[in-house]
Amino acid sequence: MGSDSDSPIVEKAVSVLKGLGVPFEVTISSAHRMPEETATYAKSARQRGIEVIIAAAGMAAHLAGAIAANTTLPVIGIPIKSGELNGLDALYSTVQMPTGIPVATVAINGAANAAYLAASILSIKYPEITGKLKDYRESTRKSLVEKSKIAWGPLTPN
Tens digits of per-residue pLDDT, 26-38? 999 999 999 999 9
Q: Report the C-alpha gap between 97 and 156 in whole angstroms.
A: 47
CATH class of 4-122: alpha beta
Closest CA to 64 of 14, 112, 13, 29: 29
Q: By percentage, how much of the chain surpasses pLDDT 70? A: 95
151 phi, psi to nearest 5 deg: -75, -35
Residue pair 10/106 in contact by the 8 Å Cβ criterion = no
Which pTM value belongs to this model? 0.91
95 phi, psi to nearest 5 deg: -85, -25
Half-sphere exposure for 112 (CA within 13 Å, toward CB) = 6
In the predicted structure, residue 158 carries a pLDDT above the cut 80? no
In the predicted structure, residue 154 carries a pLDDT above the cut 80? no
Please report the sign of the dihedral spanned by the C-alpha atoms of residue 136, residue 139, residue 143, residue 149: positive
Extents of the domains making up the chain: 4-122, 127-153
Average pLDDT, the chain: 94
Instruction: Tell me the pLDDT band of 61, cut-offs 50, 70 and 90.
Output: confident
- Calculate the CA dihedral of residues 70, 72, 78, 80 and round it to 10 degrees: 10
